[in-house]
Amino acid sequence: MESFQKLIKRLLLLIGIFTMIIISVIIALYNYETKNIEYNIIEQWDPNEMIIDNLNVPLIVKQGYLFVSESSKHMGPLAKNDSLRFSGNNLSCTNCHLNGGTLSGSASWIGIIDRFPQFGGRANKLGTIQDRINGCMERSMNGKKLSLKSKQMNAIVAYMDWLGEDLPKLNSKIFKGYPAITIPKLAVDLEFGKNIYIKECTTCHGKNGQGIRYLDIDKGYQYPPLWGNDSYNDGAGMNRVITAAAFIKNNMPFEQASWENPKLTDEQSYHVAGYINSFSRPHKNNSEADYPDKKLKPVSTPYGPWEDDFSAKQHKFGPFAPIISFYKKKYNIEKTK
Ligand code: HEC
Ligand code: HEC
């Protein structure tokens, strides 16, 4: 009888211990999850802590980060010699892909490696991530292509890969592209756009849109130029009003607007996007060859030829609704940009 009681006691003890273990595991798992979730939202982007001084980050990833964040010095006009100069303006990739390409709503690079190869209308073929990077090199950076085997290309791809692999898995759906805006029915009103520009943008980008360099000139622009010789060229995505408006709505004014909490309305973003794109900028050579299938050209591509008879002015400043319905009726294509 006594030994039976002992057995029961031991059994109870065992069950107790077992329950404790299970509870601890559950608590540990729960903490692990929430910790990850907290880390998923990179609130404080600190590239020194996360990348440059981080001993766990491979050298090639650190190099990649420098190519995209101090592009002018490492692969642009300020590089040591001509053979190292690929980008043609003094922008950095991260002037448009904010927080080192991690900020949702600014065409984040998190998870991007998994999304390529991808069909691209501009070349009308399946393009690799390298092709896409070179798209921004030749247009946003007003430069020339990096060769596929170059140190620069390999390092940039390694950096993007690292963002997808070694930063915790993020909801890549949230992080993709720019959130769409509702395209206003009217054409861009440049006067209205100018008023918004003066009120919301001049403090940083300047009245003349030429921005401000860092004191340490090697670091590029603290506030990038929005038009003129040192800006993106006329073949860039940012030169399309609808694309620029989506970027601006979710990211500008800098550190005041975000995806979750934009400052400007769709309409204000649209008019100010038209205003900054009404000024002159470098010309992309051979842009007539873009979009071999002209039907796939985004409606706000401001340069021809087009598969329709709308004027160049309407493609640049809208109204876009008639162009969108033309493609829907004639080709059954739903255009969103
Ligand atoms: C002037 C602004 C600007 C600069 C500078 C810029 N880009 Fe972009 N980038 C864009 C825009 C606009 C898009 C298209 C975003 C969209 O429509 O969703 C884009 C798209 C991309 C994409 C594809 C994103 C996706 O989700 O499919 C990659 C990759 C990319 N850029 C890499 C780079 C690299 C690398 C550099 C520097 C060499 C660079 N970009 C410089 C504006 C810029
Ligand atoms: C508080 C300063 C500030 C204000 C105000 C501001 N920006 Fe910016 N803007 C920036 C910074 C900084 C960047 C580059 C981000 C980076 O490098 O991290 C930028 C980048 C941009 C870019 C992409 C880079 C390029 O060269 O094309 C565009 C377009 C832009 N801003 C438009 C605007 C517009 C339009 C407004 C007004 C609605 C505005 N910004 C207001 C600071 C500002």
pLDDT, tens only, 43-55: 678 899 889 999 9
Distance in Å, CA 186 to ligand 2 centroid? 25
Token pair of 33, please? 């999850």
Closest atom, ligand 2, to C-alpha of 98: 18
Q: Whose CA is nearest to atom 16 of ligand 1?
A: 177
Token pair of 105 as six digits: 């709503």
pLDDT the model gives residue 172: 57
**pLDDT value of residue 41:** 55
Cα 276 to ligand 1 centroid, rounded to whole Å = 18
Give 180-211 pLDDT, tens digit per residue.
999 999 999 999 999 999 999 999 999 999 99
Interval between CA 58 and ligand 1 midpoint (Å): 24
Supply the pLDDT for residue 273.
Answer: 98
What domains can be seen in the chain, in order of their start residue?
47-175 (1.10.760.10), 190-331 (1.10.760.10)
Q: The pTM is what?
A: 0.89
Q: How far is CA 201 from CA 24, 29, 38, 198, 209, in A?
A: 53, 46, 32, 6, 9
Decide if pLDDT at 7 tops 80.
yes
Is residue 37 predicted with pLDDT exceeding 50? no
Biggest distance spanned by C-alpha atoms of the chain: 100
Nearest atom of ligand 2 to the alpha carbon of 272: 35
Tell me the C-alpha distance between 83 and 140, whole Å.
20
Mean pLDDT taken over the chain: 92
Tell me the average pLDDT across 153-180. Answer: 82
> Is residue 145 pLDDT above 60, yes or no?
yes
What value does the mean pLDDT take over residues 71-86?
97
Quote the pLDDT of residue 161. Answer: 95
Pairing of strands 221-223, 125-127: unpaired
How many A from CA of 211 to the centre of ligand 2? Answer: 9
pLDDT in the model for residue 227: 98
- Looking at ligand 2, which atom is closest to the CA of residue 244? 29
Pocket test for ligand 2, best of 93, 205, 250 (most atoms within 8 A of CB): 205
Confidence category of residue 42, pLDDT binned at 50, 70, 90: low
| Whether the predicted pLDDT of 36 surpasses 50 | no
The pLDDT value given to residue 289: 94
Mutate to test the pocket of ligand 1, among 65, 108, 131, 140 (most ligand atoms within 8 A of CB): 140
Confidence of residue 264 (pLDDT cuts 50, 70, 90): very high
Helix (H) or strand (E) holding 24: helix 2-40
Quickly state the pLDDT bin for 125 (edges 50, 70, 90): confident
| pLDDT tens digits, one per residue of 220-253 | 999 999 999 999 999 999 999 999 999 999 999 9
Residue 156 pLDDT exceeds 70: yes
